[in-house]
Structure 1
Amino acid sequence: MVANQNPEQIARDRIDEMLCASGWVVQSKNEIDFSVSKGIAVREYQTSVGPADYVLFVDQQPLAIIEAKKESEGHRLTVVEEQSQNYAQADLKYFKSTEGIPFVYESTGTVTRFTDYRDPKSRSRNIFWFHQPETLLEWFRSGNSLRQRLQELPNLDTDGLRPAQIKAINELEKSFKANKPRALIQMATGAGKTYTAATFVYRLLKFAKAKRILFLVDTKNLGEQAEQEFMAYQPKDDNRKFTELYNVQRLTSSYVASDSQVCISTIQRMYSILKGEELTDDAETENPNEQSSWLQKKLSEKDPVPVDYNSKVPIEQFDFIIIDECHRSIYNLWKQVLDYFDAFLIGLTATPDKRTFGFFNENVVSEYTYEESVLDGVNVPYEVYSIETEISQNGGVIESGWYVDRRDKLTRAKRWQQEDEDTEYRRNDLDKAVVNISQIRNIIKEYKRALETTIYPDRKNEDGSYEVPKTLIFAKTDSHADDIIQMVREEFGEGNDFCKKVTYKIDEDPKSVLNRFRNDYHPRIAVTVDMIATGTDVKPLEVLLFMRDVKSANYFEQMKGRGTRTINVDKLQLVSKTARNKNHFVIVDAIGATKSKKTDSRPLERQPSVSMKDLLGAVTMGVKEEDVFLSLANRLIRLDRQITDKEREHVVELSGGKDLKQITRELIEAFDPDKIEALSQTKLAEVPEQDLTPQKKENARAEAQQELAKKASLNFNGKLNEYIDNVRRQHDQIIDHINLDTVTKSEWDTTSVDKAQGLIQDFTAYMETHKDEIKALSIYYNQPYNRRNITFKMIKEIMDQLRMDQPSLAPLNVWQAYQTLGETQSDAPKDELTALVSLIRKVCGIDETLKPFDKTIDENFKQWVFKQNAGQHNRFTPEQMDWLRMIKDHVTSSYHIEMEDLDYTPFDAQGGRGKMYQLFGNEMEQIINELNEVLAA
């Protein structure tokens, strides 16, 4: 770079480099030579409104304009769009155009925006690089732009599609027509996400004439499954399979075939292709929760090498990118892959989180939850059976002097050794640092007993032997899986074929074992670490036995999803002869995996010991308890899968026109927060804004909930109840509870009122006991004025002490207890520390009702701003309000703000302490002190 070069020239030099890299030859207006290349970029070409910075010619045809700006004006590129459009619509020297030039860029060489003026309501968009000459010529000759063709998509043929799939496709296509660059489809596991994708991909290729679509996954396993889906897919309007109509290529190298219309690739491979690197054998992980050495190396780089332009894979290579299981892997290092391409992005996931919503611009085109899928009969509900042992809960002690086996984790070679000191181990050390054979044996022994007596007691063969339902056991490690397999074979008294390991580290072909587990009688039980945890269908599965905990809520949802699949009776009985139908599945929790609040979906069964007759009677007589409603809904869902068409007709007749699905939906909606909120908003619609007090809103929600509960209860009457109970007797059995002395707990998991009350009492007592020992608690109870001085560190101190003394009093557990008692309508905050602050404020009397502290801060902030504006209309400028909101957000996450915090993120990026002083002057310190006090009030 030339010293002291002006900013405009620096930008143009960078634009020249970009144009050359993408296949253009850059020439000055006095040295034009169209013979040297197909694509020529001419600088300062004369138009009727002055010289354009660049005019791009392809085969001597002017197709594009570039308006160049210096780098410091990157944020102003949208302001110059009118200027660049004027050049595009002007007459060019030697060229007369009635329609103008269709393609327009504004660029600083660092930031580039592009507009295709053939688009309906043409809108500029950020792009990573310039398009290649051949691309612009192809687009120009095609006549209509892609976005114009999207406006002309024909109506969807809904034959053979489920309602949720129809909604997802229709809403996605509406999003395309509105030219929204990113869209998210949230669809419950088992609801047919990939089939939905194949359907809209077919429509995009056939009707929108999309050139190429990328289907991105993050594991080889998911890539292979996606390929199988496309191979099996047959459109409704053609007798040929998808792969007979369009070329589908699953990338196994860096070569992207020119005639491929659907490319399936792992995101790791696409990253390596853009980087021009070879992908090592271990880079494409089979398991999304294990990191390959290649990935670990990439993530360990202090500053990961950014993706640069690759002319072999131009930005226009794909028109659409579908990101499967997009809750994983699309952030950090991989995000560069998605930012590189000039394409629509479509996310598919069953378990989105905040990052997912943010990445897809909060454009959720379709939401289809697990609960909705159960109501629609797409998935089956689940129940939880808990097994606890003394050692599982409390660990143990190996005393000095004992002789024990020491075993290598990988080779499993043993040595006999006398312990020279006591070794105490906790529950989290099990199957990692310590293996307790008795603990594994007792869980398996108790599982066998519970299966035969309580969970599925009706599975007797003609010879009197018990048929074990297809069971998947989740183990912690590969070594743990081996221990479990040995114990299962011993305790069930079966051979090798009965129980198999299905992981990526077995000598047998894991896919072959998985196919036998899915389609054959043996194995009855499979043990896995991660292979069957996500994206793998085993429809005959009826039990998931958790012998490992899971920290990730999303991952737990995926694991749980293995059991949700429906299967018809004939196919089920091919592998499980004594099974009558699959109307639910069971999670056997031997590790406490379901206790922590990882998942939004909860088991519907809350009262397993209460008879169907009593549940029906209670609802009919006006009992409006959530446990009763949800338990009855669960029984009716299961019954609906068993009864005959004639029995269904009689139900409709006795209920006054509603079938069991409608009745069940209303039972569940009576306690659905979204339905309650929607109805309460309707009730409040005519209330003036100034009269909308928190109490009125709370009252409206209570009224709405009561109204929904009453509507659901009125579906029932004596004749209907008697008929349902009689029909149920023919199709269902009573669940029996038996406790064994060898285990500390073996029962259906229920959330009872007594348990909830006890948990809240214990939490309140703990806070009272320690209020004089822990500084922050002392302030909350005794020094209200000093609440403004409570810091993140002080709250963390309470949390650490609580975890050490009473881990069962985890804030999310206590919050759930309040929900059980109906003492809060609010869901717990995602952040456990925020939940803790909210609970402390409730138990020490600061807040009358339990509500998330972040919402309290929001309300306090609004009231403070309102008071500030009361004496002086719009006291704060928009820029000042942005700063005040940043301070509020900081207090939400850190509970307090110091002057020094202004020197760090996010304030430093906005000018830090100096900028705030510039905006607020001598009031700066007063405002910080005031907000600390007011927000924590």
Structure 2
Amino acid sequence: MTPEIKARQQIDQKLNQAGWVVQDLNQIDLSAGVGVAVREYPTDTGPADYVLFINRTACGVIEAKKDNAGENLTVAESQTERYATANLKWRKGNIPLRFLFEATGQIIRFTDNADPAPRSRELSHFFRPEQLAAWLAQPDALRRRLVDSMPVLSERNLRDCQIGAVTGLEKSLAQNKPRALIHMATGAGKTFTAITAVYRLLKFGGAKRILFLVDTRNLGKQAHQEFMAYTPPDDGRKFTELYNVQRLASASIDPHAQVCISTIQRMYSILSGEPIDESAEDISLNEVQQTVKQEKLVRYNPTIPVEEFDFIIIDECHRSIYNLWKQVLDYFDAFLIGLTATPDKRTFGFFNENIVAEYSYEDSVADGVNVGYDVFEIVTEITQKGAELKAKEWVDHRDRQTRKKRWGETEEDNVYTGKELDRSVVNTSQIRRVIQAMKTAVETHIFAARKETPKTLIFAKTDSHADDIINIVREVYGQGNAFCKKVTYRAEEDADSILSSFRNDYNPRIAVTVDMIATGTDVKPLEVLLFMRDVRSKGYYEQMKGRGVRSLDADSLKRVSNSAEGAKTRFVLIDAVGVEKSCKTESRPLEKKPGIALKDLLQGVAMGSRDDDTVLSLANRLVRLNKQLDDKAKARIEKLSGGIPVGELGKALITALDPDAIVQTALAAAKANGITRSEDTLLPKEIEAARASRVAAACAPFDKPELRDEIESARRDREQVIDHINLDQVTFSGFSDQAEAQNKMVVQTFANFIRQHKDEIAALRFFYQQPYQRRALTFRMIEELHEHLSRPPLMLTTERLWSAYARLQGGQVKGATIRRQLTDLVSLLRFALGLDGEGAELKPFADEVDRRFQAWIFRHNAQRGTSFTPEQTEWLRLMKDHIASSCSISREDFDYAELADKGGLQRAWGLFGSELDTLMNEMNEELVA
């Protein structure tokens, strides 16, 4: 079978799935259905691969290509256009065909010639004939209406930021941009803005149906309530009186619904045929890792075709559009509109950097839309330093899941750090001290005039931690059960009713949560947030802080907090774990599947379960278990696994599911079989085979029953130790500006050290010598300096120094949120010594090297009279990057991977000749010193 014939068969199959009747010319029967696709239809410029007839009238053409032409499919557009404007045999009139398709067996591109400035776009499947018939019956195409039919926006009941967002979105849609991002601060009214846009797209744009995607059922409920409450400015009726809004709770979409609200998890279930776990809709995708491949991929569903929605609005899109879930968005032929308060780099990239509205938290505070916040710190000795339980101490041991306790002796000395608190060790004194310090601060300092406890939300690490906090809160405050409640997905009481009471009633005054109120949920009366868990995800942390930013008028606040005077003007973030100072990343935790026991996951893998949920859940358990086991338990597992540490067993499972690695494995397998493939032309079965082989290799160790037994035994042995012996004490409690003295002390200690040791340490001599011996600075010198600084008693790590400067000098310090490199010590030294002049910024070393490199290469090109070639410039950039991470470059450094992979010293010499050494010397001098 030739590639052309194979592609035609796949095209025929997709046309049939979409409801087309496919016929050969000699068997043509246009009465066979609404839509008939006729193969090899004659025109005066040659036979067209397929001509599409709707209700007996020719309206479209398909140009078919073999699969390996997919990467150049746009080249065929001129050919498709030629057939569309040609004379068709037996056809009356010569009106150009409207609908143009180019297709391989894998890829479909589509152009609607009724669009303004017709532009092709990729589809996941062919449209149904009924859809083309509907479009033909309309006087204008959707994209034409977006240009010509949208009236000026009524500004009634809209804030300036909302006006800007709706007008910016409509301008983007009129330009036929497929993706648009609305970045608005929490509390600025993103959903209200979106509903305003939805109303206009339905009424004036003539949209058929719009999908409103959320990532938790709770947010779906909130969105539905806002649709029901919305009254448009030009009609006295509610939105839901004008348009049908369906909150999807099954696999069927109401044909009369014009707005459909669904979790992205449910929509994935419908399109993939994967049964939905109802509880999955309750957990934010911030709390799970979206799996990168699934046993069942999204596939064509004729009851929900690709044209089902004209627009898809993705609420909190920063957390719900990647990896597994992206398939849902790729399936539909729809404009994508993202809403988020906390975008990250992936979000900007996904939406093609098309930011149609940008309204920051700082803007919202300045406008009075949101309130500002103060940071109050509580530091305890054990939170900072941990503690030690000696052997033979009698303490409680508690099972994490059942919370069943046993009284027994500790077997050996147990030194634990603050990070292990509430995981392997629970120190009730530490929790009590934090809660007592919060109570004292709120009642005597933060909200001293209040007679009742302000509405307070506490973020806990785990469900078990939340229970410990609740018990101690009730004890410290001397209050009953109603005063403090847990609001998580696993709470014994109905979470929605507790949340409603927390929002609207006097009690509870304090709520403790792990995940449920972390993002999206609106609780305007909140005035205190207590962090008793650290958060490494920058976006997630901003979302958690956002729970307190909502403004609230005086009457509404007084309804739940009787002694409040005036409107809500601020909230206070109480930091009991250093969350404000910890380094934030944009990564997400692994998926958690606590409902399945570890032994069942192990047994399932051994019996052949290879779905992503099972594999990733087992990986997560093993990685987590590795942090909880002692060295003896780890050694026993490693011996039985053939030398693989328990943590590496988990990492291997994660790596096996890396989508890029799967593709590379599939490409290698195809090449080994003599088949030339690109990433775009790999077949699903080839990708699946590659995935299966990688997962099988990672799962192989678990075939051994003795290894599975040892892992399960280690899990059973792990218990929380309840430390009631080491009593904690608060070492600092105050607003963060009172910590300024500590940061000043750090900076002053650094300056004193530089002065005292300027003649002893090579890196310091480098900067003090005049003139600079610029070529003398090496990475080893920086390492030596770092070793001196980071040892006790100084403990001046690069991270700590950078953080101190950032908190003291704010705007003069750049890159405070990124992880430090050791070479950033160079920037710290220059800044401390004032070598860059008064008012200079403290910037990461790599940024400064980049700046100097641009100036150097510009000057060098000017002096030479001719520019470096593109390949020479690329090599100079590689050399610059090496200097940024290592302070200098020499001939020996060309053996390092990033340089060696490009051909090493031999290739560099071939490009620059004897000039290479001179260039290296110049770069070492001018980019570093």
Shorter-chain TM range is: 0.7 to 0.9
CA distance in 2, matches of 1:193, 1:595: 29
Measured after TM superposition, the shift of residue 781 of structure 1 is 10
CA distance in 1, matches of 2:540, 2:183: 15
Where does residue 848 of structure 2 map in the other structure? 856
Once the two structures are superposed, what CA deviation does each residue of 1:140-173 show, in whole Å capped at 9, x if it has no partner?
A: 2113111111112011111111111111111111
Once the two structures are superposed, what CA deviation does each residue of 1:560-584 show, in whole Å capped at 9, x if it has no partner?
A: 1111112221121111111002111
Please, which of 574, 577, 583 is the counterpart of residue 591 of structure 1? 577
CA distance in 2, matches of 1:18, 1:57: 16
Where does residue 283 of structure 2 map in the other structure? 286
Tell me whether 1:30 sits opposite 2:26 in the alignment.
yes
Where does residue 543 of structure 1 map in the other structure? 528
Where does residue 268 of structure 1 map in the other structure? 265
Partner of 1:174, secondary structure, is: helix
Tell me whether 1:824 sits opposite 2:812 in the alignment.
yes
**Is the Cα contact below 8 Å between 1:383 and 1:585 reproduced in 2?**
yes
The letter for the 2-side match of 1:391 is I
The letter for the 2-side match of 1:748 is F
Q: How many residues align?
A: 772
Residues 135-146 of structure 1 correspond to what in structure 2 (within 5 A)?
A: 135-146=131-142
Where does residue 616 of structure 2 map in the other structure? none
The letter for the 2-side match of 1:758 is M
Where does residue 205 of structure 1 map in the other structure? 202
**Is the Cα contact below 8 Å between 1:182 and 1:345 reproduced in 2?**
yes
**Is the Cα contact below 8 Å between 2:872 and 2:911 reproduced in 1?**
no
Where does residue 399 of structure 1 map in the other structure? 390
Residues 340-489 of structure 1 correspond to what in structure 2 (within 5 A)?
A: 340-459=331-450, 466-489=451-474
CA distance in 2, matches of 1:890, 1:263: 52
Where does residue 605 of structure 1 map in the other structure? none
Once the two structures are superposed, what CA deviation does each residue of 1:264-322 show, in whole Å capped at 9, x if it has no partner?
A: 1111222222212221233324343444xxx78x55x6x76543333332221111111
Distance 1:891 1:355, change over 3 A: farther
CA distance in 2, matches of 1:367, 1:263: 26
Partner of 1:85, secondary structure, is: helix
Q: How much is the aligned-residue C-alpha RMSD, in angstroms?
A: 3.9
Measured after TM superposition, the shift of residue 382 of structure 1 is 0.9
Please, which of 193, 203, 206 is the counterpart of residue 196 of structure 1? 193
Distance 1:308 1:773, change over 3 A: farther
Distance 1:109 1:99, change over 3 A: same
Once the two structures are superposed, what CA deviation does each residue of 1:482-517 show, in whole Å capped at 9, x if it has no partner?
A: 111111122212122111221222221111111111
Once the two structures are superposed, what CA deviation does each residue of 1:442-495 show, in whole Å capped at 9, x if it has no partner?
A: 122222221221111112xxxxxx321111111111111111111112221212
Once the two structures are superposed, what CA deviation does each residue of 1:352-405 show, in whole Å capped at 9, x if it has no partner?
A: 111111111111111111111111111111111111121121111112232111
**Is the Cα contact below 8 Å between 1:385 and 1:588 reproduced in 2?**
yes
Distance 1:367 1:773, change over 3 A: farther
Distance 1:571 1:248, change over 3 A: same
CA distance in 2, matches of 1:588, 1:451: 10
- Between stretches 437-446 and 848-857, larger displacement belongs to 848-857
CA distance in 2, matches of 1:455, 1:524: 16
The letter for the 2-side match of 1:93 is K
Distance 1:755 1:392, change over 3 A: closer
Please, which of 170, 173, 177 is the counterpart of residue 174 of structure 2? 177
**Is the Cα contact below 8 Å between 1:891 and 1:932 reproduced in 2?**
no
CA distance in 2, matches of 1:337, 1:304: 15
Residues 186-265 of structure 1 correspond to what in structure 2 (within 5 A)?
A: 186-265=183-262
Where does residue 636 of structure 1 map in the other structure? none
Where does residue 923 of structure 2 map in the other structure? 934
Tell me whether 1:112 sits opposite 2:108 in the alignment.
yes
CA distance in 2, matches of 1:795, 1:249: 62
Partner of 2:821, secondary structure, is: helix
Gaps of 5+ in 1: 460-465, 601-740, 905-911
**Is the Cα contact below 8 Å between 1:220 and 1:285 reproduced in 2?**
yes
Distance 1:67 1:774, change over 3 A: farther
CA distance in 1, matches of 2:191, 2:109: 33
Q: TM-score, normalised by structure 2?
A: 0.75
CA distance in 1, matches of 2:886, 2:76: 41
Once the two structures are superposed, what CA deviation does each residue of 1:589-637 show, in whole Å capped at 9, x if it has no partner?
A: 222122236599xxxxxxxxxxxxxxxxxxxxxxxxxxxxxxxxxxxxx
Measured after TM superposition, the shift of residue 194 of structure 1 is 0.8
Partner of 1:50, secondary structure, is: coil
Partner of 1:186, secondary structure, is: strand
Distance 1:513 1:27, change over 3 A: same
Once the two structures are superposed, what CA deviation does each residue of 1:865-905 show, in whole Å capped at 9, x if it has no partner?
A: 4356447777566687678768877987899885674699x
Identity %: 52
CA distance in 2, matches of 1:870, 1:787: 28
The letter for the 1-side match of 2:345 is K
Where does residue 65 of structure 2 map in the other structure? 69
The letter for the 1-side match of 2:733 is S
Tell me whether 1:839 sits opposite 2:827 in the alignment.
yes
Once the two structures are superposed, what CA deviation does each residue of 1:675-726 show, in whole Å capped at 9, x if it has no partner?
A: xxxxxxxxxxxxxxxxxxxxxxxxxxxxxxxxxxxxxxxxxxxxxxxxxxxx
Partner of 1:560, secondary structure, is: helix
The letter for the 1-side match of 2:38 is V
Partner of 1:92, secondary structure, is: coil
The letter for the 1-side match of 2:214 is V
Partner of 1:121, secondary structure, is: coil
- Between stretches 346-355 and 434-443, larger displacement belongs to 434-443
Residues 34-73 of structure 1 correspond to what in structure 2 (within 5 A)?
A: 34-73=30-69
Where does residue 746 of structure 1 map in the other structure? 733
Distance 1:931 1:116, change over 3 A: farther
CA distance in 1, matches of 2:206, 2:904: 51
User: Which structure is richer in relative contact order (CA contacts within 8 A, separation 6 or more)?
Assistant: 2
Where does residue 717 of structure 2 map in the other structure? none
Where does residue 487 of structure 2 map in the other structure? 502
Please, which of 316, 323, 333 is the counterpart of residue 307 of structure 2? 316
Partner of 1:172, secondary structure, is: helix
Where does residue 713 of structure 1 map in the other structure? none
CA distance in 2, matches of 1:823, 1:329: 33
Please, which of 80, 85, 88 is the counterpart of residue 84 of structure 2? 88
**Is the Cα contact below 8 Å between 2:146 and 2:173 reproduced in 1?**
yes
**Is the Cα contact below 8 Å between 1:534 and 1:562 reproduced in 2?**
yes
Where does residue 599 of structure 2 map in the other structure? none
The letter for the 2-side match of 1:57 is F
The letter for the 1-side match of 2:54 is V
The letter for the 1-side match of 2:62 is I
CA distance in 2, matches of 1:331, 1:797: 42
The letter for the 2-side match of 1:444 is I
**Is the Cα contact below 8 Å between 1:246 and 1:261 reproduced in 2?**
yes
**Is the Cα contact below 8 Å between 2:584 and 2:818 reproduced in 1?**
no
Where does residue 149 of structure 1 map in the other structure? 145
Residues 562-577 of structure 1 correspond to what in structure 2 (within 5 A)?
A: 562-577=547-562
The letter for the 1-side match of 2:808 is T
CA distance in 1, matches of 2:732, 2:435: 14
Where does residue 691 of structure 1 map in the other structure? none
CA distance in 2, matches of 1:886, 1:211: 52
Partner of 1:216, secondary structure, is: strand
- Between stretches 204-213 and 489-498, larger displacement belongs to 489-498
Distance 1:774 1:579, change over 3 A: same
CA distance in 2, matches of 1:373, 1:485: 33
Partner of 1:54, secondary structure, is: strand
Partner of 2:114, secondary structure, is: coil
